Amino acid sequence: MEEAITKITELGVPFVMNLIAAILIYIVGKWLAGIISTVIEKLMLKGKVDSSLAGFTKNIIKAVILIFAIIAAVGRLGVQTTSLIAIIGAAGLAIVLSLQGTLSNFAAGVMLILFKPFKVGDFIEKGEEF
């Protein structure tokens, strides 16, 4: 009986501590992602950057920081993150290649946001049809 309790404490306590650390890493990462992305958005808006570009940048930065936090938390649990990152990269490549046409439209939208030929509130007139 004492051997079982010793074995449980030897294996269980480090796992529980790693689990608590992983949860804390995720919570702090999510909190930091929200704060950093909001600060960057406010700085961009204060610098008179278009609001759609500021919102787009905020969302991208928040997603990237959150992905890093998730990978760090999973790594704390003992999962080999190098293979996880390789799998994510391979899956991303496969998705990009399969959605090539759709992603070109997405890239065109991003270019419209970055180069901002139109601003929020502008009206666009449609040309004459034949």
Q: Could you report the per-residue pLDDT of 16-65, keeping only the tens digit for each?
A: 898 999 999 999 999 999 999 999 999 999 988 878 888 888 999 999 99
State the Cα–Cα distance between residues 63 and 67, nearest whole angstrom: 6
CB 40 within 8 A of CB 57: yes
Return the pLDDT at 35. 96
Higher pLDDT, 117 or 58: 58
Return the pLDDT at 7. 75
Task: Indicate if 38 and 52 belong to the same structural domain.
Answer: yes
Task: Indicate if 23 and 58 belong to the same structural domain.
Answer: yes
Q: Is residue 123 part of a domain?
A: no
**Percent of the chain topping pLDDT 90:** 35
pTM of the model: 0.69
Q: Is residue 58 part of a domain?
A: yes
State the Cα–Cα distance between residues 101 and 1, nearest whole angstrom: 64
DSSP 117: S
Q: Is residue 122 part of a domain?
A: no
Q: How confident is the model at residue 111 (pLDDT cuts 50, 70, 90)?
A: confident
Q: Is residue 126 part of a domain?
A: no
Return the pLDDT at 70. 93
Enclosing domain of residue 84:
80-117
Task: Indicate if 101 and 74 belong to the same structural domain.
Answer: no
